[in-house]
Amino acid sequence: MSEKRDYYTVLGVAKAASQDDIKRAYRKKALEFHPDRNAGDSSAEEKFKEAAEAYDALSDEQKRARYDQFGHAAFSQSGGFSDGGRFTNIEDIFEAFGDVFGGGGGGLFGELFRGGRRSSRGGPRAGRDLRIVLPLTLEEIDQGVSKEVSIKRAEHCASCGGNGAKPGTSPIACGTCGGAGQVTTSQGFFAMRTACPQCQGAGKTIESPCSDCRGQGRVSRKSDIQLAVPPGVEDGMSLRVGAEGDVGEPGGSRGHLYVIIREKEHKIFQRSGPDLITEVPFSFGQLTLGDRLEIPTLRGKVEMSIPAGTQSGKVFRLRGQGMAGLEGRRRGDQLVRVFIETPVTLTERQEDLLREFEDIESEKSGSKTFFEKIVDYFN
């Protein structure tokens, strides 16, 4: 960002905010703007980094005091503090603030941050999370369904066993970090441990790379995954299938697979949360005289009575005929909107009867047609 905003404004807190308030505000902002929830949105990613930068400054009482006194100038190198813009990627932010979200990356935020991250101790890198879109019909969503999907994911190279080295050779300890995977740098009065720039935190380097995987230790393979989708899921909902993503480095955990639900358009029903909406056409006579007929639902037909004198647009509720509730919640209802279907063609007999009916209506004492009321209004 060309011009830094006030850190308190970034997090949406007052200058007198407590540390708990600051932590809660940062958590909210980070979850809102996380790139995994805003795929392809560069603006959201910048706001995500901006929130981390603000929290980095305000969560430390010493840094906060300097910021309150000098503003952004407090974080220049001459000020003795690390630059507030030090977060260049998602992994840096997770390593710094993973404890804010459940310790060591647990819980929801841990899931969002798993993709290819390395442990703070320089351990093996975890596998990348994968995402697929799964289209489902309303019937499948209502009943729950088992689906087999094919995905491409990274697996360990069979030739080198995943270490990336040519068969018969092995990776060697990195000469820059001595195999630790981290180096120590000093900024002012503070020392900071960061991933080794030579080996990217692996602690090892490869002199003779494997020809099959080009030293990566992993290759892409097609895999078939069986998915169990519970009843009641909604469009856009993400289901996590644990440890079905890319394989990690040797000793690192496999990533997760996230399944994004896409609800297919239905010919009869529209969905509104747990409820279903359907429009059913009736003739003028049916709504006027009343009728009893079968209405389609997701689980078959049910009988519904239409009382005499029902107006077009009236909505009836069929209790318990909507969508299954997620995780055992109450089943929704089906809303039936009735409307008059105007005939396009009439027989001569039908026309005569309708004209006779209209004449009788207009002769009723004190009654006026709609058009007569319009004329009266303008007169």
Please indicate, yes or no, if residue 103 is contained in any of the structural domains.
yes
Last residue of a domain, one of 113, 129, 164: 113
- Residue 120 in contact with residue 95, Cβ under 8 Å? yes
- Residue 83 in contact with residue 192, Cβ under 8 Å? no
Instruction: Supply the pLDDT for residue 181.
Output: 86
Please indicate, yes or no, if residue 84 is contained in any of the structural domains.
yes
**pLDDT, mean of each 10-residue run, the chain (379 residues):** 82 93 91 73 86 91 89 64 51 57 42 46 78 96 97 96 94 92 77 84 91 94 96 91 92 91 96 96 95 95 97 97 91 97 94 89 65 67
CA end-to-end span of the chain: 64
The set of residues, in sequence order, having a beta carbon less than 8 Å from that of 119 and lying 6+ positions away, is: 126
Domain that holds residue 77: 1-113
Q: What is the pLDDT of residues 144-175, one digit of tens each?
A: 999 999 999 999 999 999 999 999 999 999 99
Work out the number of other CB atoms within 10 angstroms of the CB of residue 267: 5
Please indicate, yes or no, if residue 224 is contained in any of the structural domains.
no
Instruction: Supply the pLDDT for residue 171.
Output: 94
Last residue of a domain, one of 68, 98, 113: 113
Assign residue 75 the CATH number of its domain. 1.10.287.110
Q: Find, among 111, 117, 221, the residue nearest to 162 by Cα.
A: 221
Assign residue 346 the CATH number of its domain. 2.60.260.20
Q: What is the pTM of this model?
A: 0.63
Instruction: Supply the pLDDT for residue 98.
Output: 53
Instruction: Supply the pLDDT for residue 110.
Output: 43
- Residue 166 in contact with residue 157, Cβ under 8 Å? no
Please indicate, yes or no, if residue 239 is contained in any of the structural domains.
no
- Residue 111 in contact with residue 117, Cβ under 8 Å? no
Please indicate, yes or no, if residue 27 is contained in any of the structural domains.
yes
Instruction: Supply the pLDDT for residue 111.
Output: 42
Instruction: Supply the pLDDT for residue 190.
Output: 67
Domain count, the chain: 2
Please indicate, yes or no, if residue 120 is contained in any of the structural domains.
no
Last residue of a domain, one of 113, 128, 161: 113
Instruction: Supply the pLDDT for residue 4.
Output: 84
Please indicate, yes or no, if residue 290 is contained in any of the structural domains.
yes
